Structure 1
Amino acid sequence: MTEVLFHPGLVLIVGALLLPFLRGTARSVAIVALPLLVLALVWQVPDGPAWQLRFLDYTLTPLQGDKLSRLFATIFALMATGGGLFAITQKSRVEVPAAFVYAGSAIGVALAGDLVTVFVFWELMAVGSTLVLWSQGTEAAYRAARRYLMIHLLGGVVLFAGVTGQIVNTGDVTFARLGLDSPAHWLILIGFLINVAAPPLSAWLPDAYPEASWSGTVFLSAFTTKTAVYVLIRGFPGTELLIWLGLFMAFYGIIYGLLENDIRRILAYTIVNQGGLMMVGVGLGTEMSLNGATAQAFAGVIYVALLLMSAGSVMQMTGKRKCTELGGLVRTMPLTAVCGTVGALAVSAFPFTSGFISKSMVSQAALDGHLLWVWLLLTAASAGAFLHAGLKFPWFVFFHKDSGLRPAEPPLSMRWAMVIFSFLCIALGVWPEPLYALLPYHVSYVPYTGAHVVTQLQLLLFSGLAFFVLLPYLKRTLTITLDTDWMWRFVLPALLHKVGMPLMKAWNLLVHAAYVLITESMALVLYQHRQDGRFARTWSTRSMAMWVLVLLLGFLILYYV
């Protein structure tokens, strides 16, 4: 080690393991204080390697700081704080410790300087997030956790193969820009893309996240996909493939979000949509676009978590999670409605919210690069995000036809968490300079120009007009949407039943036949060796001499041939 320093990620992980032993006020204080301590430690990490050690003839750097890693570690610590405050009343003794292990591992990835450390914390993230999902305790959550773990184990195996190939080919474990110039780098990219919910495996996210508890989904929304965005910024900036994958994800999330009835699945598709927009920024690869992707990741953690906090509050207080079961909740949950609306405006990039000062940087980078089609598609995606997350979610939950439900506001800790995150959404939108100062490159971008504000307001107003004009076609229906997870949830089990079962029966028959053959052969050999068997008889000297001659003759023939 080059310097004695506490690792922020490890502090959060170790603290998480101690949380189950605390009760009452001590536990509540620790849930909020621990990630705040970690946030302070993040800002003690200097630029460059802070920890280095030798392992199997390689120099590992478990702790390394720069502007990019510090920004992501900061937002992960803030998210752990806000999520912990929101989850203080959570009865599960497993969820919050698992979430802190999850968050600490994400911080570990952000502060890692080598691929081995990245992989170790990457896999620990999968364990922590699976436990968060599993801690809900329902049968649906158990099944979703198994599918979730299966997908992430697949991603981990692919990433491990890529990291191993990189080390064998170069002898270097440093985590830096990689490019797509070798099979190992392709494998590393695929491992990263699985966690960012890129096609064709995007469906793992809306399949798993909505099955967590009312507070668990808030934690799940923040770390896996944003950590994947971080490693893509670090390892694959300027990779053109990411532009087109990101645009596909953006429209995929919009279309399925508009079709969905479950409020948390709507917001899960929002996470996919937002991840796609960040990937476009990474793929463009300019300083402006990378700043935009980083700023959007920072802001996106906050406003998506705020949306899911409002949805979780509704779910906690009503026991309902479908648009068809909700409506008119603004009457008795006004604070939740206001906070949810702030999150909806931020995700839609409304002026004076955090989404406005971050999303527009990626669009501006596309315009600066004369990529007209990319700019047009990003603009359309911005309008689509306003339709499904900015309008559909708050309208059908809080403002549409009264459902007859009269729930109270959620507990005080949940309200404080939503208020704090709402304040951050507005504060960053009104005063973006502190966020811009944290970005990895110098920012010369001015978001509040007359042309930009007017253009964005026109886009949002016409999108809103289209929503209300087409409202009869967007009416709530008690339906489910089929996604690509249908392949591994239904098609593969059916294929296994139709094809795998006959093959299994054939295999069992083959094994049984081999067993019978071996058993009968052994019985025959034992029979011949019994007291009156052929091999137990007395043989004459003449016969033995003849067999010796045959063996010698065979040996000579084999020798000369």
Structure 2
Amino acid sequence: VIENDLRRVLGYSMINQIGFMVVGVGLGPGMGVNGAVAHAFNDVIFKGLLFMSMGAVLFRTGKINGSDLGGLYKSMPLTTGFCIVGASSISAFPLFSGFVSKSMVMQAAADQGHLVIWLMLLFASAGVFHHAGIKIPFFAFFAHDSGIRCKEAPMNMLVAMGLSASLCVFIGCLPGPLYSLLPYAVDYQPYTSTHVLLQLQLLFFSALAFIFLKLSGIYPPELRSVNLDVDWVYRRMFPATVRTVVRAVKPLKDQLLGGGRMLVTWMISELQRHHNPQGIWGRTWLTGRSVLMAVVVLGAFLLFYYY
């Protein structure tokens, strides 16, 4: 909710959507797995549409932070419309693709009696509507007028967004072709009065809460700031810690290397001293002395063997 970078907002929403898929798989074969597979397919389309719309905004304005944008619906009306379609799909509005798959996962949880899981999914649905379904199009294209006047997105971007938006609407209105591709037989009707009314109530009251928080000044404003997340640990803290440790142990490393060189030099000199022609192992031994040493070694062996 407080993230200013709209691309990162979409990244956080991806965690939410993957959570629905994981829950669907966890609910087991049948409606749960079908819902997870269908939602994975739909998520690729509507999440890609949202990323493309934000990419078009970044391409035309050079900005992606919510605090720097606003009022772009005047300059980019088609991109605004496509983004709203993607936001409606990720929020699971009826007649959009997200509704026909997300509701399947929630129905599977309800049918199996997992009340807590169902309530958590309900809360997650309201959450994604707030931080992606409303926040992305509102702060990018509406909200305050940033004064930015730019061209509409290029034709190739508009075509790509148009195809994705068409798929979102087509699958939402006619889910049968998608259901026929799922791994298990589908015995589910998304457009019943119960499903539609429940989802519309959820979305209506979520939107009402957003409006109330916004008008009352409680909703966090879009500030020009950087919000730290766990990625800061491995992107900044860990490399900085490694550099600090390396600087701290560098004098010790030099001492260890110097001591190692001295030890190696001493060992080489000792080997040379004993094995050169004047050393004890380099001199030529007489045959009698060699025989005497062999007798001594064999005698010692016999003593240890018998006693």
Determine if the TM-score, normalized by the shorter chain, exceeds 0.5. Answer: yes
CA distance in 2, matches of 1:322, 1:372: 38
- In structure 2, the partner of 1:490 is 236
1:547–1:516 distance in 2 versus 1, CA, 3 Å: farther
- In structure 2, the partner of 1:524 is 270
- In structure 2, the partner of 1:275 is 18
CA distance in 1, matches of 2:111, 2:29: 10
Task: Return the offset for 1:325.
Answer: 1.3
Check the 8 A contact 2:73/2:80 in 1, yes or no.
Answer: yes
CA distance in 1, matches of 2:277, 2:181: 91
- In structure 2, the partner of 1:367 is 110
CA distance in 2, matches of 1:267, 1:332: 23
- In structure 1, the partner of 2:80 is 337
Alignment of 1:394-405 (within 5 A): 394-405=137-148
- In structure 2, the partner of 1:251 is none
1:482 partner letter:
L
Asked if 1:386 is matched to 2:132, the reply is: no
Report the 3-state secondary structure (helix = DSSP H, G, I; strand = E; otherwise coil) of the residue aligned with 2:180. Answer: helix
Alignment of 1:435-454 (within 5 A): 435-454=178-197
1:493–1:394 distance in 2 versus 1, CA, 3 Å: same
Task: Return the offset for 1:266.
Answer: 0.8
Asked if 1:430 is matched to 2:165, the reply is: no
CA distance in 1, matches of 2:9, 2:298: 83
CA distance in 2, matches of 1:360, 1:554: 89
Report the 3-state secondary structure (helix = DSSP H, G, I; strand = E; otherwise coil) of the residue aligned with 2:49. Answer: helix
CA distance in 2, matches of 1:559, 1:345: 92
Asked if 1:470 is matched to 2:213, the reply is: yes
CA distance in 1, matches of 2:139, 2:212: 15
CA distance in 2, matches of 1:469, 1:383: 15
CA distance in 2, matches of 1:560, 1:498: 64
Deviations 1:343-391 (A, max 9, x none): 0010000111011111000000111011111111101100001001100
* Structure 2: segments with no counterpart, 5+ residues: none
1:333 partner letter:
M
2:40 partner letter:
A
**Pick aligned residue for 1:480 from 226, 230, 252:** 226
2:79 partner letter:
T
Alignment of 1:339-358 (within 5 A): 339-358=82-101
Check the 8 A contact 1:286/1:365 in 2, yes or no.
Answer: no
CA distance in 2, matches of 1:387, 1:393: 9
Report the 3-state secondary structure (helix = DSSP H, G, I; strand = E; otherwise coil) of the residue aligned with 1:264. Answer: helix
Alignment of 1:158-307 (within 5 A): 258-307=1-50
Task: Return the offset for 1:560.
Answer: 5.6
2:120 partner letter:
L
Task: Return the offset for 1:545.
Answer: 5.1
Check the 8 A contact 1:352/1:426 in 2, yes or no.
Answer: yes
1:446 partner letter:
Q
CA distance in 2, matches of 1:517, 1:302: 66
1:266–1:434 distance in 2 versus 1, CA, 3 Å: same
- In structure 2, the partner of 1:551 is 297
- In structure 2, the partner of 1:81 is none
CA distance in 1, matches of 2:81, 2:306: 96
CA distance in 1, matches of 2:105, 2:119: 12
Task: Return the offset for 1:501.
Answer: 5.5
* Structure 1: segments with no counterpart, 5+ residues: 1-257
2:190 partner letter:
P
TM-score, normalised to structure 2, is 0.90
Larger relative contact order (Cα-Cα within 8 Å, sequence gap ≥ 6): 2
CA distance in 2, matches of 1:389, 1:558: 86
The share of aligned pairs that are identical, in percent, is 46
Deviations 1:190-225 (A, max 9, x none): xxxxxxxxxxxxxxxxxxxxxxxxxxxxxxxxxxxx
CA distance in 2, matches of 1:549, 1:517: 37
CA distance in 1, matches of 2:193, 2:71: 36
Q: What count of residue pairs does the alignment treat as equivalent?
A: 304
Instruction: Output the aligned Cα RMSD.
Output: 2.3
Deviations 1:496-519 (A, max 9, x none): 345566567656644543442232
CA distance in 2, matches of 1:524, 1:439: 78
- In structure 1, the partner of 2:160 is 417
1:429 partner letter:
G
